[in-house]
Structure 1
């Protein structure tokens, strides 16, 4: 369904003004009639479900261990199904629905804060369950939501293409999340044939309205006064608006056909050349400070910067204390590394093989995101924010995933 159809496409009620405008004015290729999205209640998954319906899907099944959010779209074409991808029987029942055109596999234990066993169970074993069941039921397309961190070694990634990054498997991974996503990525690539077609698509630093991970955690730290610029503050990175990532995931399905150059490949999609000055990157701490100031907090650049070596020393101590006390601490070696290194990508491969172009420009997307957080996130915050731990919205999902995985035998 496109904006040229006689009837206007349905638009998710929770969409921002910019998201509504982009959905109504864009012309997009058709999507499968019946779609499955694992992890469909998360920040990305929820928006993916919405965009599939907006683009004409007749049935989208969201499958997630977490119930749909309060503002979930109550649309007849959406089935919000609660289930765990680590439960083989539940996955098998999910994918037994006749006529599924594609599975978008987004479900994952995300970030550096989960219990280690959960990463292996969800990210790796859960992916194996999806692959096995899809094959069993004759579903021949899987689009896998991957992560650039699967290729991170701790060295700067300064404008590389995917084929210029280290090849999997790495000798050492920076965190368990990256390792288990890499394990899943390799399985997705290994099973790809002209009859069972797969592709992996990753964003970098997803942002947008309704973000419940990236900005909430950093803004909570800024609100408490604890956040400082790490290093010299001029590290280059790239951002990806949630709608740009979902668009990349959706059009990746169209690139799954026999002899396609995309088969079994790994791609990164970002806001591309819509970043400041037409470059494919931005200065992380400068852009983050825009959000900090927009919330009415003190500019990070007016405070003392924290040297990288000092931060790494403190992170090692915090890692030890966290393990000793069984608590989650925001300051850890991984976070220090990624918040001081260059990490941005040249997306020409996704442009060439997937036909990807951002549908929302960085500046308009970032400005609206700041405004959304000021109107929707800020009024709900208390000045006694959690300085040591992570944002409550993040912790709640971690607890639900951990509890569910322990029930599955």
Structure 2
């Protein structure tokens, strides 16, 4: 099958493209620039922009299925940037796919679409979207996910996967930032250090996407559904962070701050950044980050197990070995 993966030059998208190739599919990348490392796994790049419908339509020539992985990921920024890329860009891709009579559309979402301000303990897919989100990224992804699932029909099959805290080789976001912050002695534990969270190794996340794709059919419960996916169990977040730091040659986090204080600091920082219209930075704290790092948020995965037989092949301990530099 001819399959397009948006953002295959990135993190999760690369592994999805690689694994689809190993299964014998003809795989194409869609991104703004060419990626030489994709040439090595014989994935052809079709350049374009999610906000340019003409380039999308050109990239979809001959394509039979889409994995939409690309997006703007950040904890701070201008709403219009998130909205145009994550929401409008997704709608553009869906409209073009339907115009081209493409049958399958697998969307990479995030558990943050249901995250409000409290703990989530063993949540499942019945959790509603919050009335408001502290994260513009999460809000833009929520609007996109809603749209994708609403578009599901017999002629156009869709589903959404919500991997949480993806880690592994090629990660240029989570692990590098943690390591760099600890190098500068700026990393502090938020909360009492007892909060549990879901995590997922990148190869397990890629596998789940492909399993959902293979089960996606008119008569399947996968059609029109969203799924939480993660490792075999939630982890103590700060124990996990300390293990990541350890395998990267850094000391453990010893300083701490309460969730309430971190949230207050995040509130002040956000107000200042908005006042001076500063968008293109990575702030030391936001309200959303304070809650993500200080609260528990983990989910049941029964639906993914029942609907497409998901289970992680690579366990937590083995995953940590694989991220050793």
Which TM-score applies when normalising by structure 1? 0.76
Residues 65-214 of structure 1 aligned to structure 2 (within 5 Å): 65-68=32-35, 71-76=37-42, 78-95=43-60, 97-98=61-62, 100-163=63-126, 165-166=127-128, 168=129, 170-214=130-174
Cα distance in 1 between the residues matched to 2:56 and 2:177:
32
Q: Distance between the aligned counterparts of 2:316 and 2:255, measured in 1?
A: 28
Instruction: Work out the CA distance in 1 between the residues paired with 2:269 and 2:174.
Output: 20
Does the 8 Å CA contact 2:50/2:89 hold for their aligned counterparts? Answer: yes
| Matched position secondary structure for 2:80 | helix
Alpha-carbon deviation of 1:220? 0.9
The DSSP-based 3-state class of the residue aligned with 1:339 is helix
Aligned residue in 1 for 2:212? 252
* Whole-angstrom distance in 1 between the partners of 2:174 and 2:191: 19
Report how far residue 231 of structure 1 moved.
0.9
Are the structure 2 counterparts of residues 114 and 45 from structure 1 closer, same or farther at C-alpha, using a change threshold of 3 Å?
Answer: farther
User: Counterpart of 1:218?
Assistant: 178
Q: Deviations over 1:54-97 (max 9, x none)?
A: 2211x2110012442x5444244x102221111000011111x2
**Matching residue of 2:268:** 317
Tell me by how many angstroms 1:305 deviates: 1.5
Output the CA distance in 1 between the equivalents of 2:145 and 2:23.
27
**1:324 to partner: Cα distance:** 4.0
Alpha-carbon separation, structure 1, partners of 2:306 and 2:287: 36
Q: Distance in 2 between matches of 1:304 and 1:124?
A: 38
| Matching residue of 2:243 | 290
Q: Among 356, 367, 371, which residue is 2:310 paired with?
A: 356
For structure 2, the residue ranges without an aligned partner over 5 or more in a row are: none
- 2:309 equivalent to 1:346: no
Contact (CA 8 Å) 1:50, 1:73: kept in 2 or not?
A: no
More strand as a share of residues: 2
SS in 1 for 2:271: helix
User: Which of 1, 5, 10 is the aligned partner of 1:42?
Assistant: 10
Rounded to whole Å, the distance in 1 between the matches of 2:216 and 2:271 is: 46
Structure 1 pair 140–71 and aligned structure 2 pair: CA distance change class (3 A):
closer
* Structure 1 residue 207, shift from structure 2 partner: 0.3
Deviation at 1:323, TM superposition (A): 2.9
- TM-aligned CA deviation for residue 53 of structure 1: 0.8
- Residue 332 of structure 1 pairs with residue 286 of structure 2: yes
- 80-89 vs 221-230, greater mean Cα deviation: 80-89
Provide the aligned C-alpha RMSD in A: 1.5
Q: Which runs of 5+ in 1 are unaligned?
A: 1-32, 273-279, 373-409
**Matches of 2:54 and 2:191, distance apart in 1:** 48
CA distance in 1, matches of 2:58, 2:183: 45
1:146/1:202 contact within 8 Å kept: yes
SS of the aligned residue for 2:256 comes to coil
Runs of 4+ in 1 over 2 A off after TM superposition: 70-76, 293-298, 320-325
Q: What pairs with 1:222-237 in structure 2 (closer than 5 Å)?
A: 222-237=182-197
Counterpart position of 2:30: 63
Distance 1:354 1:111 in 2: 30
Give secondary structure in 2 for the equivalent of 1:259.
Answer: coil
Residues in 2 aligned to 1:204 and 1:230: alpha-carbon distance in whole angstroms: 19
Within 1, Cα distance between the matches of 2:307 and 2:132? 30
Q: Compare 319-328 and 359-368 and name the one that shifted more.
A: 319-328
